[in-house]
Amino acid sequence: MTTKNKLIGDKEYKNIVKLVPIVCVDLLIVDGKKFLLGKRVNQPAREQWFFPGGRIYKGETILKAAIRKAKEEMGMRISAKNLSVLGVGETIFDGKGIDKARHSVNIVYLVKVNNKTKFNFDKTQHSEVKWFSKIDSSWHPYVKEFLGMIIY
């Protein structure tokens, strides 16, 4: 199946987003006690620090979606041995228009990497990426919830 076959037209996708939650994968990438977040370019949550991730395509396994999102958004080549499911969460963004009103159900993967892991992030998704070692109180509750599971 090619990417071209997986894409939904803009009109159809807008209608789907308006009517139902979207199933997504998110990647909590860690290197020892540091974790990687990206500052979002797109709505919802534009300019907020978030996990890389996105929707799962029809016919794509959750695991394959996680591996694909690591490659697409972070330029990382990872395998199943780097991944473990951390949990399931959801984000609900209220707002006007397709870009701001979203509901997603998110399978969050813990992705263990080391300082030799190379990445090259997608600037259409994140204006910057940064390694952190502490949770910031201003971050979205969803991000803080999952970081709280790994930060002691």
| Three-state secondary structure call for residue 1 | coil
pLDDT in single tens digits along all 152 residues of the chain: 344 455 778 888 878 888 889 999 999 999 999 999 999 999 899 999 999 999 999 899 999 999 999 999 999 999 999 999 999 999 999 877 666 788 999 999 999 998 888 889 999 999 999 999 999 999 999 999 999 999 85
Alpha helices in the chain (DSSP H): 3-6, 10-19, 62-74, 141-148
Q: Following CA atoms 37, 39, 40, 44 in sequence, which dihedral angle do they give, to the nearest 10 degrees?
A: 90
CATH number, domain containing residue 119: 3.90.79.10
What pLDDT is recorded for position 26? 98
With a CB cutoff of 8 Å and minimum separation 6, the contacts of 147 are 28, 35, 135, 139
Q: For residue 131, what are the domain limits?
A: 3-148
Q: Rounded to whole angstroms, how far apart are CA atoms 97 and 122?
A: 24
Look at the chain and report how many structural domains it folds into. Answer: 1
